[in-house]
Structure 1
């Protein structure tokens, strides 16, 4: 299995670094961090990612325009949104627009790793 490239789009630097450390210390992957849409799109122009883990707030801004851009620019990249339970209706909308799955915050490192293992690192 080759090294996974993961883009984490999260405005909260502490959360994005926690997600990155949880994955990079657990699996053979390289995480890139973007705190906003511009940075995320710049990274998508430079690298090919296997997975985009994106904050629901960033995804749903401007009628889900960032999610639509992800689908247009990187149609084969798996998109996973991270959201809070009160954003349940936004999760449904994101899934209908092309996100493959979601994680609910707050989440423990162990549960996060298991969820990402099942989504992104399952052996075919």
Structure 2
């Protein structure tokens, strides 16, 4: 199991990392630090294999933290996930030994690819005494992930694809009943798919107060062009 420390000051992004890491086999999220100082304390007390690092943080930014990690010779690999997209920051992160750099906003496929490449690299470098060129090439040349992530129990990938296509056709907010009627399955079943999409931050749920009658809960699609579901329905 690969132990992971996430260093991210935005709680929503940290939660997204937690969800994504849980979808990739072989990785365990051990701790989350919301600043560089806390991350250094955790690194002093615990052993981690991989650090998911943001750049923009108060007091000590991610590059300063990465420099201190190298100065203190902590045996931990780093994948940077940041909105910082200027070449100087990217070059500095790579020169300080970051094994990958993901620019926000990002899709799950890119995160999944980074984690799978890291897992492959770690297996080859850590578990083999003698490394062949062909093995080494696998740690350098990027490969597409071979397996899709699994859906929660009770969900079907074909139905999920149908639900998503129906949602993409809706303008504005919608109810569970409206999608159930479009797809042709029960409200109870539809609710499971909508809650799963909400967990991926593709939908949000709000209490909608109409002019008459009791308030109802309505969903709103946050990103109709997202590719996050490809990993689940391929």
Compute the TM-score of the two structures, normalised by the length of structure 1. 0.83
Q: Shift of the alpha carbon at 1:79?
A: 1.2
Aligned residues: 121
1:49 aligns to 2:35 (yes or no): no
Greater strand share, structure number:
1
Equivalent residue, structure 2, for 1:88: 87
For the pair shown, which has the larger CA radius of gyration, 1 or 2?
2
- 2: CA distance, partners of 1:89 / 1:51: 23
Task: List per-residue Cα deviations over 1:12-33 (Å, max 9, x = no partner).
Answer: 1111111121112322322121
2: CA distance, partners of 1:85 / 1:62 = 11
Contact 2:5 2:32 (C-alpha < 8 Å) held by counterparts? yes
Aligned residue in 2 for 1:11: 9
**What is the Cα-based RMSD across aligned positions, in Å?**
2.4
From 18, 25, 28, the equivalent of 1:27 is 25
Q: After TM superposition, give the deviation of residue 83 of structure 1 in Å.
A: 2.2
Structure 1 pair 57–108 and aligned structure 2 pair: CA distance change class (3 A): same
Residues 58 and 66 in structure 1, CA contact (< 8 A), matched pair in contact too: no
Higher helix proportion: 1
Q: Which has the higher contact order (CA 8 A, sep 6+)?
A: 1
Counterpart of 2:180?
none
**Which blocks of at least 5 consecutive residues in structure 2 are unaligned?**
125-234
Q: Is the 8 A contact 1:83 1:91 kept in 2?
A: no
| 14 and 35 in structure 1: CA distance in 2 versus 1, 3 angstrom threshold | same
Aligned to 1:65: 64
Taking structure 2 as the reference length, the TM-score comes to 0.47
Structure 1 residue 115: Cα displacement: 1.7
Q: Which residue of 1 aligns with 2:39?
A: 40
Closer, same or farther: CA 104–27 of 1 in aligned 2, 3 Å = same
User: Tell me, what secondary structure is at the counterpart of 1:70?
Assistant: helix
Equivalent residue for 2:98?
99
Match of 1:81, SS state, is strand
